[in-house]
Amino acid sequence: MFANGMAELMKMVREGKIAPIDIQERQLSEAGAALAYLGQGKANDRQILISD
């Protein structure tokens, strides 16, 4: 069931019916700040940690 829903969601993104999620890259050293940001409920994007 999840796979069907995800396929439908991705189809809607490709068709422009739903905007893709923004991605914010953060240095690994900023992991604490990223967790705090997520914990505050402010994130409307994907937080990606990258190596320093």
pTM: 0.58
* pLDDT at residue 44, as a whole number: 86
Considering the domain boundaries, does residue 32 fall inside one?
yes
Considering the domain boundaries, does residue 14 fall inside one?
no
Q: State the DSSP string of 1-52.
A: -HHHHHHHHHHHHHTTSSPPPPEEEEEGGGHHHHHHHHHTT---SEEEEE--
Task: Tell me which residue range forms the domain holding 35.
Answer: 22-52
* pLDDT at residue 1, as a whole number: 57
* pLDDT at residue 20, as a whole number: 85
Q: 1-52, pLDDT tens digit by residue?
A: 567 888 998 899 999 999 888 999 999 999 999 999 999 988 888 899 999 8
* pLDDT at residue 39, as a whole number: 92
Considering the domain boundaries, does residue 15 fall inside one?
no
